[in-house]
Amino acid sequence: MKLKGFGRGRVELKKHLDGQRLTPRQMIIAKCYECMGEYVDGRFDCGINDCPLHPMMPYRNRLK
């Protein structure tokens, strides 16, 4: 699978796809990267406040 996006999570998702072990934090970052469509539209808060991973999202708006 070729990853086309940018931002935090790209390396972590690649490691996962290659079968490498990830830390829990790396798993969260990789999932956010995947869920956000590889950040192809830019790096920003997903706005999915109901997501249990949202508090750990790399680009979460911390002003809320």
How far is it between the farthest Cα atoms of the chain?
Answer: 36
Q: How many CB atoms lie within 10 A of CB 9?
A: 28
Domain assignment present for residue 35? The answer is: yes
Written as tens digits, the pLDDT of the chain (64 aa) is 677 777 889 999 999 999 999 999 999 999 999 999 888 888 889 889 999 999 988 888 866 4
Domain assignment present for residue 41? The answer is: yes
Domain assignment present for residue 62? The answer is: no
Give how far Cα 36 sits from Cα of 39, 51, 53, Å: 6, 12, 12
Domain assignment present for residue 22? The answer is: yes
Domain assignment present for residue 50? The answer is: yes
Domain assignment present for residue 4? The answer is: no
Question: For residue 3, what pLDDT is reported?
Answer: 75
Find, among 32, 23, 38, 34, the residue nearest to 53 by Cα.
Answer: 32
Question: For residue 1, what pLDDT is reported?
Answer: 66
Find, among 40, 57, 46, 45, the residue nearest to 6 by Cα.
Answer: 40
Question: Based on the structure, what is the number of domains in the chain?
Answer: 1
Domain assignment present for residue 1? The answer is: no
Find, among 36, 41, 50, the residue nearest to 58 by Cα.
Answer: 36
Domain assignment present for residue 2? The answer is: no
